[in-house]
A and B are shown apart, each in its own frame.
Chain A
Amino acid sequence: MSTANPADAATASAAAVPASPAALGADRRWVWIVVAIAALLPLLQFVMPNVISDYRLFLMSTMMIAAIAVLGLNLLTGFNGQISLGHGAFYAVGAYTAAILMDKLDLPYWTLLPIVAAVCFVVGFLFGLPALRLEGHYLALATFALALAVPQMLKYKWLEGLTGGVQGIVLLKPEAPFGLPLSEDQWLYYYCLIVTVLLFWGAWNMLRGRSGRAMMAIRDHHMAADTMGIDTARYKTVTFGISAAYTGIAGALSASAIAFVAPDSFGFFLSISLLIGLVVGGVASLPGSIIGGIFTVLVQNSAQALSNFVKNDIGLPYDLSPYSVYGILLLVLMYVMPTGIAGGVVLAWRRLRR
């Protein structure tokens, strides 16, 4: 996978898929259809308990969580052109903020998201300040360092009282409010769905307005944007903050879904898989973020099954590790759909309509 220049990829995809938010605006019906289907899905469980099982609902919830995290990264990298290899760090900060508030202060889970968003915004904003001096690869390296440092910091002995050190914190799963007759997994699904819809709606609104155009102008040509009177420094740091807040909210949701946080959960590979989700789904594309989220969960989930299939059923004498399957899939996708799945689908659609 080429992470060499996502900024290029961003502009390329922006050219190929002219401003996805605008495309969204042109034909918004399908968004409502998707949301409606998503909202009805758990109800089908009463009809087909084997197909829509609790486990599959849980899997879909984790997909939505991943989609939010990828969206957070997309706001920064896709729409603003700043590369981050360390969004796992903000994910971890969000998860731990939520876990500590639930564990130490007994706050109910639904009050947490605004607090988590604020904390992660501040952390992201502060990290965005020095990041202003860093461009391209240098920024990638700085964020990389952040991703490596955060799990170590969580183990640090001064923080151990709060974070539980290497042992982590065990949490309770959210239960349905108002005595709604929903199982834990159904409620978790709806909770994630509501948050996902709100956050995507917010991002869409932001991106089609002045600030969104400013963000993209900075990505496309920093100096020109500056000349046009955009306060580039402020936009870049604020974007960093918002991006961190989005990813942090995803982290907080995952803490609720998994009901456990530990430093091992936020290894460096988390950051990489978010970036992979971004590139595979579609850089600078809102639907792409959802596809990216689905992709990261689905492929990690089925890579092993696929490698077993290759070995046992096709009978190839290779002992492919799950991650090599992952890698091969990525290479193929990059080759076939260089603008990500979202971009590829739009291109294919256009060709068919022609």
Chain B
Amino acid sequence: MSVTRRGFVGGASAATALLSGSGMALAQKGKYDDGATDAEIKVGHTGPYSGPASAYGVIGKAIDAYFKMVNDKGGINGRKVKFVTLDDAYSPPKAVEATRQLVEQEKILCLFNTLGTANNTAIQKYMNQKKVPHLFLATGASKWGKPKDFPWTMGWQPDYHTEGVIFAKHLLANVKDAKIGVLMQNDDYGKDYYEGFREGLGKDVGKIVKHVSYEVTDPTVDSQIIQLKDSGANAFFNIATPKFAAQAIRKAADIGWKPVHYLNNVSASVAAVMKPAGFDNGQDIITAQYLKDPTDKQWDNAEDMKAWREWMAKYHPSGNPGDAFNIYGYAVAATMHKTLEQCGNELTRANLMKQAANLKKVAIPLLLPGITVNTSATDYYPIQSVRLQRFKGETWELFGDVMSNESA
């Protein structure tokens, strides 16, 4: 029986080969690698739809909904985007397997916005060996912009390291006789921020009087905040994910600790952090942002926010309109959209990489005013700018100019 089945599979694959062979004979309007034809562009993605980090799974769903909209409007240069997304459960071995499935079985043109620092580290070498574009990764680690070693890998968002440097510079310029307390999540994300912050302080690194950390599995950070207050710190760098950031803001207010408070971008959401922490407790907190917050009323009349809301209602009705990951997914997919558009009819992997490294002041919806996407053959960091904002009343207020740290 196994023989007949194998015979069947062999026959079927031979038939497919014939079909694709006849397709090749027809005149094509462009140059293609695997994953692109006159009718279709295949874009691959892996994300955590299950497992400990499944909250991030929202991003993949948002990207999928974005490309549905693109296809409804006629696709990119007449080609529909086929977005193939697989679950990697936030586990590196699973990510390697899923990536190989996408590249070798699905034959995608490029891999896009794979999530997680460890997962991307696991597949980076493979992608570069196979020379398949590995674009706009969903991780804030600072190691994705190295075109010399990894010419096929490019990040997207401002990295944590850069943001840490920017906070440190602002702090040194604005807080007199700073005594700094730092709360940090004990993992790669926390450490990336902390190292950037220390680098930004430079010779003033001794101004950090207390550095405490917590584990993601901890129930609260109350005792850490009490320790920070006791250290006499008058400035506070809060490197925490939303739940813990809200706890820290509330606890600091409860025990009457009023430092100059810097909050990392990861927790800049009004709905997920500032509201549960209590608006009164969060006044004057400073954070850095590059995307528009969907729960911030000041953007209600912005054109891109209106378009986003319409898209949410029509293509992504199951998504939470207060979830910033839906903004993220939309904006990163729009970047991919622009890049593919720029490729014209030459949808080869080499040209895709060339165009990804040739984005000049590209305006992407939902980025803050003044922030654009810029890359070059030597600059593989698409977004390197953030804007500082201060919490006033129930919303963030932008202040100062766009801040950048070129080529971190």
Q: Do A and B bind each other?
A: yes
Q: Which residues of A contact B (CB under 8 A)?
A: 48, 50-51, 53-55, 58-59, 62, 152, 155, 165-168, 170, 254, 258-262, 264-265, 267, 269, 300-301, 304, 321-323
Inter-subunit contact B122/A258 (CB<8 Å): yes
Contact among B52, B86, B121 for A167, CB-based, below 8 A = B121
The interface on chain B, measured as residues whose beta carbon lies within 8 A of the other chain's beta carbons, has a size of 37
Most buried by B among A59, A155, A170, A304: A304
- CB of A48 within 8 A of CB of B10, answer yes
Question: Closest 3 interchain pairs by CB?
Answer: A55-B104, A260-B122, A166-B188
Quick check: B187 and A155 within 8 Å, CB to CB?
yes
Query: Once the chains bind, are A168 and B121 in contact (CB under 8 Å)?
Result: yes
B92 at the interface (CB under 8 A from A): yes
Which chain B residue lies CB-closest to A157? B186
Question: A168 touching B92 by the CB < 8 A rule?
Answer: yes
- B50, A323: Cβ atoms under 8 Å? yes
Report if B320 contacts A (CB, 8 A). no
Name the interface residues of B50-70: CB closer than 8 Å to any CB of A.
Answer: 50-52
B13 CB-CB contact with A under 8 Å: yes
Question: A264-B92, A267-B91 known; A55 and B50 CB under 8 Å?
Answer: no
In the bound complex, residues from chain B placing their C-beta under 8 Å from that of A261 are 92
Selected from B86, B96, B117, the residue in CB contact (under 8 A) with A304 is B86
Give the residue among B90, B125, B215 with the most A Cβ atoms within 10 A: B125
**Among B6, B90, B101, contact of A55 (Cβ-Cβ < 8 Å):** B101
Q: Known contacts A155-B186, A267-B51; is A51 also within 8 Å of B9 by CB?
A: yes
Contact across chains for B100 and A170 when beta carbons are under 8 A apart: no
Interface string of B71-90 (1 = CB under 8 A from A): 00000000000000011011
Q: Is B17 close to A, CB under 8 A?
A: yes
B91 touches A258 (CB 8 A): no
Q: Which residues of chain B are within 8 angstroms of A170 by Cβ–Cβ distance? A: 121-122, 125
Main secondary structure of the interface of A (DSSP, over half): helix
Q: Is the CB of B97 within 8 A of A58?
A: yes
B94 interface hit (Cβ, 8 Å): yes
CB-based contact B13/A300 at 8 Å: no
Residues of A within 8 A of B86 (CB): 304
CB within 8 Å for A322 and B121 given contacts A53-B104, A53-B105, A59-B97: no
B93 CB contact (under 8 Å) in A165, A166, A265: A265
Partner of B49 from A260, A267, A269, A322 at Cβ < 8 Å: A322
CB-defined A-B contacts under 8 Å, sample of 5:
A168-B118, A261-B92, A269-B89, A304-B49, A322-B49
The CA-CA distance from A260 to B187 in the complex, in Å, is 18
Q: Which of B233-257 contact A (CB under 8 A)?
A: none
**Shortest CB–CB separation between residue A144 and chain B, in angstroms?**
15
A322 in contact with B118 (CB, 8 Å): no
Given pairs A48-B10, A167-B188, 10 additional interface contacts (CB within 8 A): A48-B13, A55-B100, A168-B121, A254-B93, A259-B122, A259-B126, A262-B118, A264-B92, A269-B51, A304-B86
B125 touches A54 (CB 8 A): no
Q: List chain A residues, Cβ under 8 A from B16.
A: 50
The answer to whether A262 and B92 touch across the interface, beta carbons within 8 angstroms, is yes
Q: CA–CA, A322 to B121, complex, Å?
A: 24
* Contact in complex: B97, A167 (CB < 8 Å): no
A153–B357 CA distance with the chains assembled, in angstroms: 40
* Chain B: CB-nearest residue to A58: B100
Q: Which residues in B have their C-beta under 8 angstroms from that of A62?
A: 93, 97
Residue of A55, A165, A168, A321 touching B105 (CB-CB under 8 A)? A55
Beta-carbon contact of B118 and A264 below 8 Å: yes
Q: Which residues of A contact B97 (CB under 8 A)?
A: 58-59, 62, 301
Q: Enumerate chain A residues within 8 angstroms of B191, measured Cβ to Cβ.
A: 165-166
Partner of B118, one of A51, A167, A323: A167
Are the CB atoms of B92 and A265 closer together than 8 Å?
yes
- Looking at the assembled complex, report how far the CB atom of A55 sits from the nearest CB atom of chain B, in whole angstroms: 4
